[in-house]
Amino acid sequence: MAEYTGAPVYFVHQSTPGAVDLVTEARSRGQEELSETCPHYLTLDETVYSERFPEWYACCPPMRSPETVAALGDRMLAGDVHTVSSDHSCYELSQKRERSQDIRQMPHGLPGVETRLPVTFTAMGRARWAGR
């Protein structure tokens, strides 16, 4: 629809390289589209759900595989991700724990206003120094 109408689009919370690739492809055709991701999609993977408190990491979209996280980081380093936002949600852990048995009822989101820049800078700096 955006291509048909010429409207710009800002895609939020992209957590897979495939989503970023679709935006990159549309941009190559002249579309005004931007990709945004969050620090947790660049640094955490689905293994957090096997930790003692998996509800701490309830967010939407969910965490992805380590391979997906690495590929998303590659897109970030290539300049295909335009914005990193916090997805800051001010839920207390007690609110998530109250509904830890039903993910559909649990509040989703992670904190991040204060940490998005240093977390992203550290993760992407390490990746670049590692030669990714």
How far is Cα 132 from Cα 13, in angstroms, rounded to an integer? 22
| Residue 21: active-site member | no
Q: Taking a C-beta distance cutoff of 8 angstroms, is the pair 86, 113 a contact?
A: yes
Which pTM value belongs to this model?
Answer: 0.90
How far is Cα 109 from Cα 102, in angstroms, rounded to an integer? 15
**Which of 45, 80, 87, 102 is labelled catalytic?**
87
**Per-residue pLDDT tens digits for 26-78:** 999 999 999 999 999 999 999 999 999 888 899 999 999 999 999 999 999 99
Give the number of other CB atoms < 10 A from CB of residue 88. Answer: 14
Structure-model confidence comparison of residues 21 and 125, the more confident one: 21
* C-alpha to C-alpha distances, 72 to 7, 18, 64, 76, nearest whole angstrom: 26, 9, 10, 6
Q: Break the chain into its structural domains and give their ranges.
A: 2-124
pLDDT at 132: 65
* CATH class as words, domain 2-124: alpha beta
